[in-house]
Amino acid sequence: MISAGIAAGIAFGIGGCAGTPQPPYDDSQKLVRATLKILTDDGNAICVDNRTNGKPLAIFATMAVAPAPSRRPLAWHTVAPLRSSAALTTRQIYQDTIVNKPAHIPDPTNTTPTLAYVDQQRLNNAAMVQSRTGQTRTVDLPGGFNVPRVDARWWPFVRLSRKCYLKYVVSDPVWSDDLGFVTVNIEHWGTTYAFQRRDKDWVPVGQWSNWLF
């Protein structure tokens, strides 16, 4: 027999909408909500874990001190939804993990123009400072902050869901007085979005070079 507590937990995971946060949102919630809006901006529906996870600038901080040839292609671009065509099939996962036959995943690219030099420097400097001193916060997002086309659920249900091909993990946000950052992963691709505080909300102003992990 399933206990009432377990049954409630399962129902929450399946429904994904219990306890949906309502306005007014705090800065961490606003940053995550702004990220979800980017990911659905082209009209596609997405599935996303209903709790943020991970440090938003960990990859940036690592690559910022990489050898010059590795750093040279990195840049901030105008914003676009992160999309992946690199989802592994069940057979590929089996061969990669059991048969020891590594699957090939293509390197991601950015399709939007790079930002001006002054904007590159501003975002690089802010990201580096915040990667060292910024305080992050885990954000729960059941209901996806009511952003259309977002299905936010407990992560095991996201992985098993057939509702969405696009399944995302959103990092904890980090922010200062006027700039904030959030990282997004899908399959084996990732990117970092930069946000500017404007009119008591956060608007996207840049997207860092997509990476493979």
Could you tell me if residue 179 is inside a domain? yes
Tell me if 118 is assigned to some domain.
Answer: yes
In this predicted structure, the answer to whether residue 74 has a pLDDT above a threshold of 60 is: yes
Assess whether pLDDT exceeds 60 at residue 29: yes
In a domain? residue 189: yes
Query: 46-49 and 167-170 as β-strands: parallel, antiparallel, unpaired?
Result: parallel
In this predicted structure, the answer to whether residue 99 has a pLDDT above a threshold of 70 is: no
Assigned domain for 187 exists: yes
The reply to whether 7 falls in a domain is no
pLDDT grade, residue 8 (50/70/90)?
very low
pLDDT score, position 128: 95
What's residue 166's pLDDT? 77
- Is 5 within the bounds of a domain? no
pLDDT in the model for residue 72: 77
3 in a domain, yes or no? no
Q: Is residue 94 part of a domain?
A: yes
Give 164's pLDDT tier (boundaries 50, 70, 90).
Answer: confident
Counting the structural domains of the chain, the total is 1
Distance, in Å, from the CA atom of 23 to the CA atom of 204, rounded to the nearest integer, reads 20
Residue 179 pairs with which residues in a beta bridge? 196
Expressed as residue numbers, the domain containing 55 is 20-212
CB count within 10 Å of CB 15 equals 13
- For 69, the enclosing helix (H) or strand (E) is helix 68-71
Asked if 208 contacts 79 with a C-beta cutoff of 8 angstroms, the reply is no
